[in-house]
Chains A and B, each alone.
Chain A
Amino acid sequence: MENSFWDAFVEALRLIRTLDPEVMEITWRSLQLAASSSTIAFFLIALPLGTLIHFNRFPGKRLVISTIQTLFAMPAVAVGLITYTLLSRSGPFGDLEWYLTPAAIVFGQTLLITPVMLGLVISALNAIDKAIPETATALGASRFQTYIICIREAKFGILTALVMGFGRAVSEVGVSMMVGGNIREFTRTLTTAIALETSKGERELALALGIILILLAFVINFALLSLQYRKLPWHYWK
């Protein structure tokens, strides 16, 4: 057993070192899907909506924010179930025919990571000096210009939201499995492939993909850590 684990590990490293086409293809797809969903969730939803929520007073604001925070802990499987209900053939969005396509995964991941991103954007804006928006207004900034300068001031916290969301999307398995279907060369991602190959006993491939996923997690956490210290990740390379 010990020997066969070692053999599997050596084989996994060989797969990565030789840039095995299947390993590369799955990795690339995972990155693409997570990048798509985090881009959509961040730029189209979390950043603009978070900014509006932060800067405007409206009844029920506290409730909205605490709901968003509660949704942080939403299990991926639950989001997968919701996405399935929405996108399956008989669901309200069934006619889009997204079920079992990459679009379904992006849709589901977007649902999954939007609350985290939204919450982090709001708290990042909350953390900036209260005098910043007022100073901008006094200097003649329009409302939109004031938002932009505040986002700029909160850039570290806001980038944290983006990285955190990407990290969650790339490592989730519930959504991809339930609405993507783990179809080879179509919707198979790092996480769903690991689950499948492990259950099939194909430990070399599973391990290779697992190592890549762990490396990705390291990179993401490194980025988060450097953001916490108010440095952009590439600062360390200077």
Chain B
Amino acid sequence: MALLEVIDLQQQFKDSYSLKSVNLNIEKGDVFALIGPTGAGKTTILRLIDLLDQPVSGRILFDGIDVTKSKSERLKARRRMAYVQQRPTVFSMNVYDNVSVGLKWRHVKRQSIKETVEQALHLVGLADHRKRDAKTLSGGETQRVAIARALVTKPELLLLDEPTANLDPISTEQTEEILENIIEARQTTMIMSTHDRSQGQRLANRMGVLIDGDILQVGTPAEIFRSPIRKRVADFVGVGNMLDGVIEARVDESLVTIQVNGNVLQAISDFDEGEKVWVLVRTEDVTFSLHKTSTSARNTFEGPIKRMTPVGTLVRIEIDCGFPLVGVVTAKTVAEMGLETGSHLFASFKATAVHVIHRRN
């Protein structure tokens, strides 16, 4: 039985649906990342799961118990979960009291509170701040207090809303490290929302893509990033190349040829001849060379460099080979190959690196 089952959940604000019909199954031990752009409804889902709001319709089963309707079950269920808000608020007391307050509310014995809280403060690296007024902490520290006070209650389900959205890069790294430790050491079931696509990939074993109040795809990070089933998912996860194509012919059982802007490329697909498709190629699957080389890649195109954009230590290269094709290389490679705008390049990628989705999706 799933730890959490969300069935046809709908939420409405004023006249518009903020959640259309959400279905989710979270198993014990899952680390589930809810990814989607800002305003997609991620917070709305988490608030409903934590029973802070009432849905317009639909049901939430926590450990098999319907907690949507029954008032008496709500507090009981809520005490088995913990919710870390996007902008956590701390109470006007010191760090220790802030972390222990949830246990006091659960009438836990003093000695055991002390042990649990000290342990949590060490885990989040705030042991030296236990006496400090929590209101004077930085954003990152406040976030860690919020994580610590959620953890001490030993939640069966930990809900994290954009745990690093308001943090600087260093605090983000620290917070992610803490979360990794928790995932490893405690096997806590987690649902975290994030608009940071790679964060979900780093921390979660399953992901759901939420766009405009709809969960469009659920799967492992690899499935979501390599094989988005819809254009909107692909747009959000960012594949780099999304080309307009039509299936030209079937080569064998799995291989097809696709017409893209007068060029023909090969891909693995089971769509039929004449079907209109989106052709997706991830930038990291495109390799560049100065000369035509014999490779196992079935797709090779050539053209001049149209644009070069530095991205961190990498450079994003767009060539014009009858259609725009984007790939990435290291800055070092750019220097070694003497690349500049206008340089003629060969680009190749394997047929298996091409992901094809139907255009009606």
CB <8 Å contact, A145 and B50: no
CB <8 Å contact, A149 and B78: no
Question: B153 in the interface, Cβ–Cβ < 8 Å?
Answer: yes
A139: contacting residue among B87, B92, B93, B105, CB under 8 A: B105
CB <8 Å contact, A135 and B105: no
CB <8 Å contact, B105 and A138: no
**Contact residues in A for B85 (Cβ distance below 8 Å):** 131, 134-135, 138
CB <8 Å contact, A131 and B52: no
What are 29 inter-chain pairs, A to B, with CB distance below 8 A? A129-B89, A131-B85, A131-B87, A131-B89, A132-B89, A132-B91, A136-B101, A136-B105, A137-B52, A138-B50, A138-B52, A138-B78, A138-B82, A138-B83, A138-B85, A139-B82, A139-B101, A139-B102, A140-B75, A140-B78, A140-B82, A140-B106, A140-B153, A141-B105, A142-B75, A142-B105, A149-B101, A152-B91, A152-B92
A-B contact number at CB 8 A:
49
Q: How many residues of B contact A (CB 8 A)?
A: 21
What's the Cα separation between A139 and B102 when bound, in Å? 6
B52: contacting residue among A129, A134, A145, A149, CB under 8 A: A134
- Looking at chain B's contact residues, the main secondary structure is loop
CB <8 Å contact, B50 and A139: no
CB <8 Å contact, A145 and B105: yes
Smallest beta-carbon distance A229→chain B, Å: 15
Question: B79 in the interface, Cβ–Cβ < 8 Å?
Answer: yes
**Contact residues in B for A145 (Cβ distance below 8 Å):** 105
Q: How many residues of A contact B (CB 8 A)?
A: 16
CB <8 Å contact, B75 and A149: no
**Contact residues in A for B83 (Cβ distance below 8 Å):** 138
Top 3 A-B residue pairs of the complex, sorted by shortest distance between their CB atoms: A131-B89, A140-B79, A139-B102
**Contact residues in A for B102 (Cβ distance below 8 Å):** 139-141
Question: B206 in the interface, Cβ–Cβ < 8 Å?
Answer: no
Question: B59 in the interface, Cβ–Cβ < 8 Å?
Answer: no
Question: B125 in the interface, Cβ–Cβ < 8 Å?
Answer: no
**Contact residues in B for A153 (Cβ distance below 8 Å):** 91-92
Smallest beta-carbon distance A101→chain B, Å: 43
